[in-house]
Structure 1
Amino acid sequence: MKITSTLAASALIASTLLAGCATPYQQQPNVQSYPAANTQGYNTQYGVIDSIQSTRAPNNSGPGMGAVVGGVVGGLLGNQVGGGSGRAVATAAGVVGGAVVGNNLEKNNQAPGRELYQIGVRLDNGSFETINEENIGDLRVGNRVRIENGRVYRY
């Protein structure tokens, strides 16, 4: 009974600490503009493509099953060491160490982020916008385009 409650407390502490370290990825809007007097839609702008660059989107996964499984296995192994209060310390250290190792293993085995294209557009009003798209289709540098709701279209 004492071992089970110690193990459960250690797992709870480790998961709380790991969850506190997580930073969620929040994608910011690509285009922020106000409608001009000569535009057709609410969020439509016109310009010419200045540059197109290929990038990788960040892999936004935080601690997942690798950390959980690693914490449980580490806690079980740490519980086998020592006796008395030393066992509780070894269990807690096993939970934390196992969670870190499991999280690192999971991160190393994940596929890289998806490919994105950063499209730089020089707008008719002289400003410059950068829009991220997953597919550029038939867009090329020098094309006349319209930007509508954060997407680039040939015009």
Structure 2
Amino acid sequence: MNILTRGIAPAIVLAAGLVLGGCVTTPAQGPAYGQGYGRCQQGCGVVQDVRPVYVDSGNPNGGVLGAVIGAVAGGVLGSTIGKGDGRTAATVVGAVAGGAVGNQIGKNSGGGGNAWRIVVRLDNGQYATVTQRDNPNVRNGDYVQINNGQVYPM
């Protein structure tokens, strides 16, 4: 019986090795880093960093301009309501309300807001940093193309 177990055990191990060896796969054979993946002519590379940022419009007068325009529009609309002292009160209320609403609209449309900053190591070895409003939907290590100031996954 000892001879049987010594002969069977190696045969089982050998059979298991052959069966499991059939499950081994080879790594995907793609182009090496920097070879352009065959689809990109220029502006392509690997994402090094992606982070959300806040972009300031640099225009501090957006709220002021909106307030002035809103006050004028509100005053004109308010002056169409009522007669006499009622009209004067409606004009004042319309101007104040229009100014407040216009101020907020001006601040929000001043160009500031959330954006994405993406650092890409280009195929030629240089680095490019792109800041864009649209989420690029890329992660570190992704291969991308920069086109017209936007990053696109490949």
Structure-1-length-normalised TM-score? 0.42
**Greater relative contact order (CA < 8 Å, ≥ 6 in sequence):** 1
> Given the two structures, how large is their TM-score scaled by the length of structure 2?
0.42
